[in-house]
Amino acid sequence: MAYDISNFTTDVIERSYEIPVLVDFWAAWCGPCRTLGPVLERLAEEEEGFADARWVLAKVDTETFPDEATQYGVRGIPNVKLFVDGNVVDEFTGALPESTVRSWLDKALPTPESSRITEARELIDEGEFETGLEILQEVMEAEPANQLPRLMAAQVLLLEDPERGEELVQNIHADSELFDQAEIVRVMAALDRYVKNPESLLESEVKSLFLEAATATREGDFDKGIEKFIDVIREDRYYADDFSRKACIAIFRLLGNENEITRKYRRTFDGALYV
């Protein structure tokens, strides 16, 4: 029942390898801390009543542990961080209502399948796509409401089977934090359809250029694909329902802001939109 810690390494880091540790960074002079503290303690007591408790609470006074607060980037309190296997996996700042904290915990706490998702990600990063997909499929069956394994599988299938990938992300909507990544999959699936069914495109002076861009992107030549899509934007911005703009944004998101192709074309793309 005692939630105040005496040793951060033992009571938080090492303990988090046994069970997730919810750390409440607080101080006695902090008014919002006095509001949130009892909420967290009440939820912790409730959790202790279960034989298979999902988490434990550790209260860390920032006046007593200033170095740890600095190390973990605590800039405002109350600051709540969830430690799992020695690392912060999620956090929030401020005195939230109890119902919001409950919802946050349900989302942030690792599920029985979390380790399997991590395993799948590591396999995919190593190029073991088939094995990674098999694990993701098992997770999807065990947790059908979990959107992450669906997105991960769709990303693996991005170029090989974009239609299947699109099916996997069909229920990831705008209110999901995974929406932007799901949009990449949807754009790539639409691009694949254009390449396979060029007759679906309206006849235009930019049609051949558009198909050249789509084909290059479909084959993984993102440099050429973006260059040609930007050419289409300059000639006919709204051809194929403004798809060239959508395709460029999807490629930038796929590659990331620091990728050399993104850095090479981002400013040119922005400029083409306002010609």
Domains 114-172 and 197-272 share a fold: yes
88 three-state secondary structure: strand
Structure confidence at residue 1 (pLDDT)? 61
Q: Indicate which residue of 30, 69, 172, 254 is catalytic.
A: 30
Could you confirm whether 248 is annotated as catalytic? no
**Fold for the domain defined by 197-272:** 1.25.40
Structure confidence at residue 140 (pLDDT)? 93
Q: Name every residue whose Cβ is closer than 8 Å to that of residue 49 and which is 6 or more positions away in sequence.
A: none
- Per residue in 76-135, pLDDT (tens digit) is 999 999 999 899 999 999 999 999 999 999 888 887 778 788 899 999 999 999 999 999
List, as one string, the DSSP characters of 194-229.
HHH-GGGSPP-TTHHHHHHHHHHHHTT-HHHHHHHH
Give the mean model confidence (pLDDT) for residues 2-23: 92
Would you list the domain boundaries of the chain? 8-108, 114-172, 197-272
Angle at 172 between CA 225 and CA 22, to 5 degrees: 115
Under 8 Å between Cβ of 261 and 226: yes
Under 8 Å between Cβ of 231 and 275: no
Q: Is the pLDDT of residue 243 over 80?
A: yes
Under 8 Å between Cβ of 103 and 41: no
Task: Tell me the residue length of the chain.
Answer: 275
For residue 236, name the pLDDT band (cuts at 50, 70, 90): very high
Which homologous superfamily is 8-108 in? Glutaredoxin (3.40.30.10)
Architecture of domain 114-172: Alpha Horseshoe (1.25)
Q: Is the pLDDT of residue 40 over 90?
A: yes
Q: Name every residue whose Cβ is closer than 8 Å to that of residue 22 and which is 6 or more positions away in sequence.
A: 40, 44, 55, 56, 57, 58, 80, 81, 82, 83, 105
Instruction: Please state, in angstroms and as integers, the Cα–Cα distance from residue 175 to each residue in 35, 171, 178, 250, following that order.
Output: 29, 11, 9, 18
- Per residue in 145-196, pLDDT (tens digit) is 889 999 999 999 988 899 999 999 999 999 888 999 999 999 999 999 999 9
Q: Indicate which residue of 22, 33, 80, 216 is catalytic.
A: 33
Q: Is the pLDDT of residue 50 over 90?
A: no
